[in-house]
Chains A and B, each alone.
Chain A
Amino acid sequence: MQPQILSKITYFLPETVLIITLIVCILADVILKKKSLVVSGLAIAGLLVSGYFVYLQYGMEASLFKRMIVIDPYASFFKFLFILSTIFVLLFAVSSKEFRDAEHKNEHTYLFLSLALGAFLMASSVNMLMMYLSLELVSLTSYVLAGYTKKEKRSSEAAMKYIIYGAASSGIMIYAMSLLYGYTGTMNIYETARILTATGTVSSPMIIIVLIMITAGFGYKISSVPFHFWTPDVYEGSPIPVTAFLAVTSSAAGFSVMIRFFATTFLKSSAFVAGSWQIIDGIKWTEIIIVLSVASMIIGNFVAVWQTSMKRLLAYSSIAQSGYIMLGLVVANQAGLTAMFIYLVAYLFMNLGAFYATMMIANRLNSDNIEDMKGLGYRSPFVSISMVVFMFALSGIPSTAGFIGKFYIFSALIEKQMLWLAFIGLANSVVSLFFYVKVVKYMFLMKPDEGYDSKVQYGYGGYVMLMLFAVPTIFFGLYFVPLVKFAEASASFFGLR
């Protein structure tokens, strides 16, 4: 037993590197005190090393620690995504005014790292206990991060709301998992699939209840309606880098575990060999996802129209975006999975970019109110033009990465003859255009108020960061073949070809 574990320990190198980096960062913080750039640099270096090890094991398949976690292209794809977004958010944090004013100078660095570690484990776990533990690792870290600026009233309120919703939904999820454990006698999702397949048509009403309750746990992580109530308040109250991290990394981690759970547990075990997704008779999980997805798109987009705060607008926009991504899961085949991957990459760049531009503006104007951005197009053209790129990308205008993501999701739906769902998605994109363009309208079509029309200057670092997000957003919109190839190669589960 032990040699088996030891021989495969090399597969665990990316996570090990992250843990070592985390410890080194804590020590460096204690020794150096107040030199926040060194600690952030160490963290980014550790992430890059970890990313190199992920690159080395890309395409491999293995199961570790008595089938607790697996290594497969699917997990590797998400690990790349997490590394990229964590590096970006660490760079974010360097220029964040809220973090500079906070009591603790460097603590966010290792909190981000531990969140990334939890996300790594979420993407690769195939055991329900492991899924629950890694989900909680991500959640516990994000509760602390949401309340990071302790002196801010809003931040403490955000943390309180987050922990109540988070703990409740993950508690409901573990209760449902305990029922499923009683039904099948195992926590491993492959074993669960085998046992459920053997029963033939599953008609137990308990399974439906279990399904809904487990969806509550995942649904809160990806902030889908009706588990979204925490999203606007937490996004508004937390410091902007934390908000960006929650919107991108934490929700991508939620997707990684949710897709794997549904695409393994409730598929016929013969499908693992055949490579096609055959759902076990009687378990209609796609219908639950359809309801969540449509509700998320409609509520997210329509409520966003009334928002006056940029952070709240982005919160509702990310609720709607998670609705679009879930459409890819509804399709339940390889094309849908590939489309979700493409969308997630596009989402990373455009959403982080939107948050970065918001942070730059909020740092200078001391407000994230959309009305205060009046005439900003004349006062700081570069930031405003980048913001326009991100807004257009989020609404899915052609020649941006957001369009490619939506295009692949909708074409996967149409291929599966789900025209009406594709239509709802398209109609929602049109509605979303309304509030994304509202931001553009305030920036470019309105004159700044008297006395507030001076130029706003930013450091060069900020411009470089904006380019880091804006260039890929447009680049992947025009030249998306490598991205699609990468997504297609990654859309493969352990034992599923």
Chain B
Amino acid sequence: MEIGLHHYLIVSAILFGLGLFALISRRNAILILMGIELILNAANINLVAFSHFGGLGVDGQLITIFVIILAVAEAAIALAIVLNLYNHFSTVNVDEANTMKD
């Protein structure tokens, strides 16, 4: 069986779904951030697959590099914020670290 565009798109859709599921179901800040990484990687797979199978040169790959760099920057800031949260609340559970409510 030839591996085509659809296979990549299905993998990326599954990754996106898993990422969204992690966002909704997980209460641990680190796991939520991992869900976000999954979503970004789903976008990356899409971009590279479209670029390869659509004959669009290396455009998609270039965009992917930017997205990867951004994901790293975001993870760095997010982990610093999680660390700070842990110092205050002694937990990384986002439901427990919730003092502001209506």
Contact = CB atoms under 8 A, between A and B. Distances in A.
A157 B78 contact: no
A182 B54 contact: yes
Given A147-B81, A171-B40, A175-B46, A156 B88 contact: yes
B88 A153 contact: yes
Query: Which of A129, A143, A182 has the most CB atoms of chain B within a 10 A radius of its CB?
Result: A182
Given A156-B81, A182-B49, 7 more contacts: A133-B70, A147-B84, A160-B97, A163-B77, A181-B63, A185-B56, A187-B59
A164 B32 contact: yes
Most A C-beta atoms less than 10 A away, residue of B98, B99, B100, B102: B100
B18 interface: no
B89 to A, nearest CB: 8
A18 interface: no
A306 B66 CA distance: 44
B84 A136 contact: no
Interface of A: 129, 132-133, 136, 140, 143-144, 147, 150, 153-154, 156-161, 163-164, 167-168, 171-172, 174-175, 177-179, 181-182, 185, 187, 232-233, 236-237, 303, 306-307, 312
Contacts, number: 113
Contacts of B32: 164, 168
Contacts of B20: 172
Given A156-B85, A181-B60, A237-B100, A163 B66 contact: no
Contact of B102 (A154, A163, A303): A303
Contact of A133 (B43, B66, B81, B87): B66
Contact of A164 (B16, B63, B94): B94
Size bin of chain B's contact surface: 35 or more
Interface in B9-40: 9, 16, 19-20, 23, 29, 32-33, 35-36, 39-40
24 contacts: A129-B63, A133-B70, A136-B73, A140-B73, A143-B81, A147-B84, A153-B88, A154-B100, A157-B98, A158-B100, A160-B82, A163-B77, A168-B23, A168-B35, A172-B20, A174-B40, A179-B46, A181-B47, A182-B49, A185-B56, A187-B63, A236-B100, A237-B100, A303-B102
**7 smallest beta-carbon distances between A and B, as pairs:** A182-B50, A178-B46, A171-B39, A175-B43, A178-B43, A156-B84, A174-B43
A168 B35 CA distance: 8
Given A181-B50, A187-B59, A232-B102, A157 B36 contact: no
Contacts of A150: 84
Contacts of B29: 160, 164
A159 B81 contact: yes
Given A140-B73, A150-B84, A159-B84, A182 B46 contact: yes
Contacts of A163: 74, 77-78, 81
A171 B46 contact: no
* Best-buried of B19, B42, B67 by chain A (most CB within 10 Å): B67
A168 B36 contact: yes
Contacts of B81: 143, 147, 156, 159-160, 163
